[in-house]
Amino acid sequence: MVREKAEKEKEEKEKEAKEAELWAKCRAGDPDAREALIVAYRPLVFWFAGKLKVFPSLKQDLIQEGMLALIGAVDRFDPGRDLRFTTYAYHRIRGQMINLLDRSERRAPVPVDDDRLFAEEPEAADEEWLDVAESISRLKGREAAVVSALFFEGKHPLEVAGEQKMDVSNVYRLRRSAIARIRGWLGLGGAPQLP
């Protein structure tokens, strides 16, 4: 047991030394060292992409965006700082993937034909639906999280309550206040009809 632990520690030190050597070569401009670091940390991109629940059609774009973030992280990382590369890369990859999802949501048609949003069905052109999407994107904090989960991801209020660690009545309250806010932004007076 003691010998196994000592061997494991030795392997870890060798791995750290090898990685430190790769970083030194990468900073000196060695393209092979840079490529080796990118390949070594590529699983981080796939791991994080797997954690995000997205449409299958968006998964490849998400991975591509993550790889761009990883490459940028390798190019900008300062190994002399007291920071692990995985921590640094994780935040860059996560940020770039979330930005892609935000951009995609703004461009995508928004499935907001829910009769809870409008008291009456609008006799409107597609531009009005784009106004709805823009209004939804203006929401902040928990209101934004709840509306996104309910309307974009199609989740049940109980599921959202569990994810947000709140009572289901708060989910309904946040949904009502978000819909009221959206109706105000769109100039649709009157209270929304909610069950």
pLDDT confidence of residue 114: 44
Residues 40, 58 contacting (CB under 8 angstroms): no
Residues 194, 179 contacting (CB under 8 angstroms): yes
Nearest to 172 by CA among 140, 150, 139, 141: 150
pLDDT confidence of residue 107: 53
pLDDT confidence of residue 73: 92
Spatial separation of the C-alpha atoms in residues 194 and 121, rounded to whole Å = 15
pLDDT confidence of residue 106: 58
Residue written as token pair 């992409």: 49
Q: Taking residues 132-152, what's their average pLDDT?
A: 76
pLDDT confidence of residue 115: 45
pLDDT confidence of residue 179: 82
Indicate if the pLDDT at residue 60 is higher than 50.
Answer: yes
| Least confidently predicted of 38-47, 81-90, 119-128 | 119-128
Domains of the chain, start order? 2-107 (1.10.1740.10), 126-186 (1.10.10.10)
Q: Which residue has the higher pLDDT, 115 or 69?
A: 69
pLDDT confidence of residue 126: 43
pLDDT confidence of residue 75: 92
Residues 183, 117 contacting (CB under 8 angstroms): yes
Indicate if the pLDDT at residue 89 is higher than 80.
Answer: yes
